[in-house]
Structure 1
Amino acid sequence: MADALPWQQQVWRQLAGRSQHAHAYLLHGPAGIGKRLFAERLMALLLCQAPTGMQACGQCKSCHLLAAQTHPDHFVLEPEEADKAIRVDQVRELVGFVTQTAQLGGRKVVLLEPAEAMNLNAANALLKSLEEPSGDTVLLLISHQPSRLLPTIKSRCVQQACPLPSLAQSLEWLAARLPQIPEEARRELLALAGNSPLRAAHLHEQGALEQRAQVVEGVKKLLKQQAGPSQLAESWNAVPLPLLFDWFCEWALLLLRYQMTGDEEALGAADMQKVLPYLAGKASRGAVLDIQAWLLEQRQKVLGKANLNRVLLLEALLVRWASLPGSR
């Protein structure tokens, strides 16, 4: 098992050094800062039959079974498909696992990510396991948005905020992970990822810089009436909805800030630094506030895994965006 990420060392010593462990931990913080790696490392330590200090030994039967993903006393629960909800029948399977006796005679460990992906029925089904611990079981819940969790879920867990890396730590980690791309591209990825280095690496794998360039070019064509909402909505089919709504929410916020302050140093990434002042001069503040409220509402639906018609949603977004210049 790899060492803790540099920015996790202190929290690792706090949790791994405990002589007795809580029944459930909630590891929370922004996506892409290494919470899953931390939880997997803690799972390995909790299951290890011969830990050395605060590390799993990597050599015992338990460690070998975990490395092969065949350990009978570990359970990983996540959405069956990316960006889908965790369903109640999945949680019932977990509850069945928790009630069983550990086959290797030690602990049972559950890793659940992301906890906010549970729908209401699934979250309520999990509560029983949190309220009535069964044997020596430890639940590791990972959340990128703890505000979306039921208060009753949070109150039954030891909540652990996971630290964010410094910019220097993020750049150093990213340079080691992506040495083949220029430093400027790594900085752009990190900015898009909100300084979450693992998310930046994932964005690179997704082709996010290329997708961002495509979207920005599309927005410029939309405002010049060189492309229509339907055409653009179709052409952005490969761009993840959460990314699109993150970018448009950010642009609406920057637009509003510029209208209020005129601060050209606070216009965000270079790719929209000419577009936003243009829009700010053409759009009414009321229209910007309206589209910002609409974007935030739709973004919550996207993050909440609502069953949305993607093309219609993007068309609605682009129709509203195209109407901004004439709203003053």
Structure 2
Amino acid sequence: MLDGAIAPAENSRLFGHGEAEAFLAQSYKSGKGHHAILIEGPEGIGKATLAFRFANHVLCHPEPTQAPDSLGDPDPGSIVSRQLASGASHHLLHLTRPVDEKSGRVKGAITVDEVRRAGKFFGQTSGTGNWRIVIIDPADDLNRNAANAILKILEEPPRRSLFLVLTHAPGKLLPTIRSRCLPLRLKPLDAGAMRQALSHLGFDLAGASGEQILAAAGGSVSEALKLINYGGLDIAAAFEDVLAGQGPAVRKQMHKLADILSAKDSETIFDFFSSLLTGRVMQSARDAALAGDIEKAERFARFSSEFAERLALSDAYNLDRKQTILSLLDDLKDAL
């Protein structure tokens, strides 16, 4: 979890998604709610917080027709809230990337072994008559076997089960998974909601630096935290300097940037850089398409997929991260 953040299961406040909250509450109260909801939207805008908030609502009001028609802030002192926050609820299973016991690092995918926990979860609670909720956070991280295993459960969902499937990129999910879920799209937070969310976390965005952070965060609280607590603004500035510069001095800048991004305990800022890199490539593709240069747009679109694959391979096979970064920067400078 990012420094300065509140775990979604513990967060009692959500900002900027009132319409989505109202939809979920009213759909549930009708008694005709869908058994699987695909909560879509960019990373860091509150999808997981909304999922836990809705799960809290359902578990506190197990009879839909008797539930309130709106989602209130969870009571941190209630039994349900305490159980969800501690991961001790027998009625909710949170599926996310597990930690590798040997390395201590978070694995690169949600594996089929994790999904098998859902089968045990439903088996152990089959006779309780209570709601059983599974939050998949995010489904983008499911590997192929895990995705197929989830699909089988979605095809024949147990009675009084609810799946809250989170995704940053719904287009990457299996079409068969998407087709069995009700999509609920969340938008990036506007400036007002961003200020409220960051104030709730104890950050004041007054002044020019606050405006700079809001502009760079793109409506994502997690991106704002990376900018504030992990030197993201400096990394972004160094990245732009490298792309714009030429000559021996730029090689020195590239090596300095690569050293920072490949240092020990740099996972968060490396992920930030990866998003920065792929985002810049896709922006170049869009700019080329708008300018009518379809060939250039297609080339940058291919670069985007290729860069993402190289980053994933570097992580999966523990390749020299510095060399990967230098290679990607060289290729992007050549392309630009």
What TM-score do you get using the length of structure 1 for normalisation? 0.76
By how many angstroms is 1:125 displaced?
A: 0.7
Could you list the runs of 5+ residues in structure 2 that have no partner in the other structure? 1-9, 100-105
Structure number with greater Rg is: 1
Aligned with 2:331 (options 300, 317, 320): 320
Secondary structure in structure 1 of the residue aligned to 2:87: coil
Instruction: Give the distance between the partners of 1:240 and 1:218, measured in 2 at CA.
Output: 17
- AA of the residue aligned to 1:7: G
Per the alignment, residue 25 of structure 1 pairs with 37
Taking structure 1 as reference, are residues 294 and 96 closer, same or farther at Cα in structure 2, changes over 3 Å only?
same
By how many angstroms is 1:154 displaced?
A: 0.7
By how many angstroms is 1:170 displaced?
A: 2.5
Aligned with 1:14 (options 12, 20, 23): 23
Instruction: Give the distance between the partners of 1:58 and 1:109, measured in 2 at CA.
Output: 19
Per the alignment, residue 189 of structure 1 pairs with 213
Q: Report if aligned partners of 1:85, 1:305 keep a CA contact under 8 Å in 2.
A: no
Instruction: Give the distance between the partners of 1:96 and 1:235, measured in 2 at CA.
Output: 43
Per the alignment, residue 155 of structure 1 pairs with 179
- AA of the residue aligned to 1:45: H
Taking structure 1 as reference, are residues 172 and 152 closer, same or farther at Cα in structure 2, changes over 3 Å only?
same
Secondary structure in structure 2 of the residue aligned to 1:86: coil
- AA of the residue aligned to 1:65: Q
Secondary structure in structure 2 of the residue aligned to 1:164: coil
Per the alignment, residue 298 of structure 1 pairs with 307
Q: Report if aligned partners of 1:131, 1:156 keep a CA contact under 8 Å in 2.
A: yes
Aligned with 1:247 (options 254, 276, 283): 276
Q: Deviations over 1:139-175 (max 9, x none)?
A: 1111111111000111111111123333333244435
By how many angstroms is 1:44 displaced?
A: 0.6
Taking structure 1 as reference, are residues 220 and 128 closer, same or farther at Cα in structure 2, changes over 3 Å only?
same
Q: Deviations over 1:252-289 (max 9, x none)?
A: 56668889999xxxxxxxxxxxxxxxxxxxxxx98997
Q: Report if aligned partners of 2:289, 2:297 keep a CA contact under 8 Å in 1.
A: no
Per the alignment, residue 7 of structure 2 pairs with none
1:90 aligns with 2:114: yes
- AA of the residue aligned to 1:34: G
Aligned with 1:69 (options 73, 81, 87): 87
Instruction: Give the distance between the partners of 1:130 and 1:298, measured in 2 at CA.
Output: 33
Taking structure 1 as reference, are residues 287 and 226 closer, same or farther at Cα in structure 2, changes over 3 Å only?
farther
Q: Report if aligned partners of 1:77, 1:111 keep a CA contact under 8 Å in 2.
A: yes
By how many angstroms is 1:205 displaced?
A: 2.9
Aligned pairs, how many?
303
By how many angstroms is 1:26 displaced?
A: 0.8
Taking structure 1 as reference, are residues 152 and 322 closer, same or farther at Cα in structure 2, changes over 3 Å only?
closer
Per the alignment, residue 140 of structure 1 pairs with 164
Instruction: Give the distance between the partners of 1:38 and 1:27, measured in 2 at CA.
Output: 9
Instruction: Give the distance between the partners of 2:289 and 2:153, measured in 1 at CA.
Output: 50
Per the alignment, residue 139 of structure 2 pairs with 115
Q: Deviations over 1:182-201 (max 9, x none)?
A: 43223323333222234323
Instruction: Give the distance between the partners of 2:186 and 2:284, measured in 1 at CA.
Output: 31
Matched ranges for 1:250-269 at <5 A:
250-252=279-281
Secondary structure in structure 1 of the residue aligned to 2:16: helix
Pick which of 156-165 and 182-191 moved more.
182-191
Aligned with 2:189 (options 135, 160, 165): 165
Taking structure 1 as reference, are residues 198 and 319 closer, same or farther at Cα in structure 2, changes over 3 Å only?
closer
Secondary structure in structure 2 of the residue aligned to 1:30: coil
Q: Report if aligned partners of 2:288, 2:296 keep a CA contact under 8 Å in 1.
A: no
Aligned with 2:52 (options 20, 23, 40): 40
Per the alignment, residue 3 of structure 2 pairs with none
Instruction: Give the distance between the partners of 1:16 and 1:305, measured in 2 at CA.
Output: 43
Instruction: Give the distance between the partners of 2:333 and 2:211, measured in 1 at CA.
Output: 30
What TM-score do you get using the length of structure 2 for normalisation? 0.74
Taking structure 1 as reference, are residues 64 and 321 closer, same or farther at Cα in structure 2, changes over 3 Å only?
closer
Taking structure 1 as reference, are residues 295 and 149 closer, same or farther at Cα in structure 2, changes over 3 Å only?
closer
- AA of the residue aligned to 2:123: T
